[in-house]
Amino acid sequence: QVQLVQSGAEVKKPGASVKVSCKASGYTFISYGMSWVRQAPGQGLEWMGWISAYNGYTKYAQNFQGRVTLTTDTSTSTAHMELRGLRYDDTAVYFCARDPRLYDILTENRFDPWGQGTLVTVSS
Amino acid sequence: QSALTQPASVSGSPGQSITISCTGTSSDVGGYNYVSWYQQHPGKAPKVMIFDVSNRPSGVSNRFSGSKSGNTASLTISGLQAEDEADYYCCSYTSTGVRVFGGGTKLTVL
């Protein structure tokens, strides 16, 4: 079955960087993209960005531009999200979600499935 | 990009129908047929219930349906069941190529 398994929880100090991984299985990795979404404690969902696993195209939400980098490793079917310059309000659960978008144009808006989430805590 | 507007909460009794709205602009909801809806139970990852305004993924109950009029999309749940109690989020594609979520709606089954 299609599955996304994320790396474990992280605790980081303000100003540090964090890299979260998302290993895909059960489908052809390069036939899909991957979106990343975060959820602060008790808050709603916030879309961070998308990467095409086919050609590496990326699109980032304005709130994260310059601070986040999405990458993929096709040899291991793994997507990565790196967030730099961590602040206290970056404390959140970070999700990866399979995204049918491969190119700049969207053909379908559906995130399915989602990873289990990775809690990133920013604390001094 | 501003978040889409959803009511903070809705409620209904078992067997009833409820509708959750999701209001955006002509640059997102109104401009594209790319609105999806997600259900999230506490402590769990979200699950897609509707994509591209009105399409239901396989395995999702036909009690869930979606529609759109102008800049507002809607999710309707008919025959409410206790297991439908959850948070619901809409998500739209936008003219700048990014996606944006709504603020979320807490559904309470009375």
Chain A residue numbers touching B29 (CB-CB < 8 A): none
- Residue B40: CA count within 13 A, CB half-sphere: 26
List of residues 6+ apart from B45 with CB closer than 8 A: A95, A113, A114, A115, A116, A117
Residue B93 has its nearest CB partner, among A37, A61, A109, at A109
pLDDT band at A102 (very low <50, low <70, confident <90, very high): confident
Does A60 contact chain B (CB < 8 Å)? yes
CA nearest neighbour of B103 among B27, B29, B10, B3: B3
Tokens standing for residue B16 = 């009833």
pLDDT digits (tens, 9 = 90+) for A42-54: 999 999 999 999 9
pLDDT band at A106 (very low <50, low <70, confident <90, very high): confident
Q: How far apart are CA A42 and CA A27, in angstroms?
A: 32
Percentage of chain A beyond pLDDT 70 is 100
List of residues 6+ apart from A28 with CB closer than 8 A: none
Residue B51 has its nearest CB partner, among A60, A95, A108, at A108
Is the confidence at residue B1, as pLDDT, over 80?
Answer: no
Beta bridge partners of A38: A46, A94
- Residue A79: CA count within 13 A, CB half-sphere: 34
pLDDT digits (tens, 9 = 90+) for A55-67: 999 999 999 999 9
Nearest chain B residue (CA) to A42: B42
Nearest chain A residue (CA) to B100: A47
Chain B residue numbers touching A59 (CB-CB < 8 A): 97-98
pLDDT digits (tens, 9 = 90+) for B34-61: 999 999 999 999 999 999 999 999 999 9
Query: With left for phi above 0 and alpha for psi between -120 and 50, is residue A29 left, alpha or beta?
Result: alpha
Determine, for residues B97 and A59 on separate chains, whether the beta-carbon distance falls below 8 Å: yes
Residue B99 has its nearest CB partner, among A47, A104, A112, at A47
Sheet with B64-69, strands from edge to edge, namely: B18-23, B72-77, B64-69
Instruction: Write the DSSP assignment of B15-32 as a string of letters.
Output: T--EEEEEE--TTTGGG-
pLDDT digits (tens, 9 = 90+) for B49-104: 999 999 999 999 999 999 999 999 999 999 999 999 999 999 999 999 999 999 99
What pLDDT is recorded for position A107?
87
> Alpha helix (H) ranges present in B9-77?
none
Beta bridge partners of A16: none
Beta bridge partners of B23: B5, B72
Smallest CA–CA distance, residue B71 to chain A, in Å, is 17
